[in-house]
A and B are shown apart, each in its own frame.
Chain A
Amino acid sequence: MKPSSLASKALLVFMKDVRSEARTRYGVGSIALFAVTSLVVASFAVSPYALEPDAQSAFLWVVLFFSSMSGLSRSFVKEEETRTSVALRMSAEPLAVFFGKLMFNLALMAGVEIVVVPMFLLFMDISPATPSLFFASVALGTVFISAATTIVAAIISKANSKGALFAVLSFPVTMPGLIMAVRMTNASLAGMGFASALSEVAGILAFTVILTTLSALLFEFVWND
């Protein structure tokens, strides 16, 4: 036996989830389907009008938030539904599972956004005035949503009405970070620089760190009970 570090075990959980997802494509399928269809429908609906930056940024985050709601809970829900969680509990410490799932959710969202964000810019005919701030807002918002929803997914995986509960519980947890992400995106589309969005950047980072730390501390109780 060799002593495996927490990081290497978390990486094993992440790689296992990537391999599972590659075979089933359930998570990426449901997230991408929602994101692409809502983008296409909305872009056709608003095509005669030029939306203001605040409406455009809100629209982007509505699509990304509800897309994540349709797929990010799967990694935990599937473990419970298929009864593989028992084997996982017997084999890995809770923190390795938590960080492995967090990495997977982050990768899943990032993978979908590589397709969805360029589509958003194309369909809505948007050229961000401050591209670096725009992509920073998307990246930080994605990290925040993934951090916030991973612990919620673990909690709801043991409930009966998982789908509805995930969105209901995630909404208040993600609200503060989402508002800041919308403001950051708005600033980037309106042509303001990084300096004008510093408080939002700091706010999202702080919320992400606090949520991740609290989740890591609480996860063992959620996972084992």
Chain B
Amino acid sequence: MGISISINDVSKKFGERTALRKVSANAASGRVLVVTGQNGTGKSTLLKVVAGLIRPSTGEVRYSDGTSTRDAARFRDRIGFISPELALYEELTALDNLAFFAGLKGVQDPVAAGEALLKRVGLLDRADDPLGSFSSGMKQRVKFCFSLVNDPDVWLIDEPTANLDDPGKELAYSLISERRGRSAIIIATNEKEEVPLGDEAVILGK
């Protein structure tokens, strides 16, 4: 069964600086919520709060099964997360990276899952090359694989087309449309042309 996310009055302060101010939104299972706004309005911070990577100063994020981001251990395996602030192991091969994370997330056959995803993003022929030898666009494709390796119920995408060329952007959009209907998806983006990807949009202001 899918999961819906309820973001309730979430604020985040780093010292005296307010990064996120009382944001409320819902991301229903199978639907896409786009979070947009200027630089520094807290889009990435909001996604990290939803992912359980940082704790909100006030407010909370709840999932439809009753868990909240405070119970990080219970929902970690159900989230896929991709962000410019996340990196994979450059010294390991693309397949080693994906098999490692798939194993940690309890995927039945981690190597097969990694290979299937690399094939989907057109990088199966580079599966055994170290990630450090990849271009930034290719690394972004592998990060998409990382975020999908556990077949997530909740997919959080920060700047989906960062570093991607036009074919890469098309691939990113097609991956999003494939998962529409299966996961609750939240996309944080600066790109105006990506706002229509969402069924709903939240605009963050300073």
Contact = CB atoms under 8 A, between A and B. Distances in A.
B186 to A, nearest CB: 15
B96 A82 contact: no
Given A1-B107, A20-B89, A90 B73 contact: no
B85 interface: yes
B72 A224 contact: yes
Interface string B129-155: 010000000000000001000100000
A12 B110 CA distance: 12
Contact of A87 (B87, B90, B107): B87
A83 B86 contact: yes
Contacts of A210: none
A3 B105 CA distance: 9
Contact of A4 (B51, B79, B88, B104): B104
Interface in B71-110: 72-73, 76-77, 79, 81, 83, 85-92, 96, 100-101, 103-108
Contact of A93 (B76, B88, B101, B150): B76
A23 B103 CA distance: 21
A100 B81 CA distance: 23
A112 interface: no
A1 B100 contact: no
Contact of A91 (B83, B104, B108, B130): B104
B203 interface: no
Nearest to A21: B91
Nearest to A22: B91
Contacts of A4: 103-104, 106
Interface in A86-138: 86-87, 89-93, 96
Contacts of A16: 89, 92, 96, 100
B155 to A, nearest CB: 12
Contact of B51 (A3, A12, A90): A90
Q: Which bucket holds chain A's interface residue count?
A: 20 to 34
A118 B157 CA distance: 53
Nearest to A100: B104
B85 A83 contact: yes
A92 B88 contact: no
A2 B87 contact: no
B73 A86 contact: no
Nearest to B108: A2
A64 B105 CA distance: 37
Nearest to B72: A224
A161 interface: no
B53 interface: yes
Contacts of A87: 86-88, 101, 146
Contacts of A20: 89, 91-92
Contact of B88 (A1, A3, A23, A84): A84
21 contacts: A1-B107, A2-B106, A2-B108, A3-B106, A4-B103, A19-B96, A82-B87, A82-B89, A83-B85, A83-B87, A84-B87, A86-B87, A87-B86, A89-B53, A90-B53, A90-B79, A90-B86, A91-B76, A91-B104, A92-B76, A96-B104
Interface of A: 1-4, 8-9, 12-13, 16, 19-20, 23-24, 82-84, 86-87, 89-93, 96, 224
Given A1-B107, A23-B130, A82-B89, 11 more contacts: A1-B106, A3-B106, A8-B103, A9-B104, A12-B103, A16-B100, A24-B91, A86-B81, A87-B101, A91-B101, A91-B104
Q: Which 10 A-B pairs have the closest CB atoms?
A: A83-B87, A91-B104, A23-B91, A86-B86, A4-B106, A92-B104, A1-B106, A91-B101, A12-B103, A16-B100
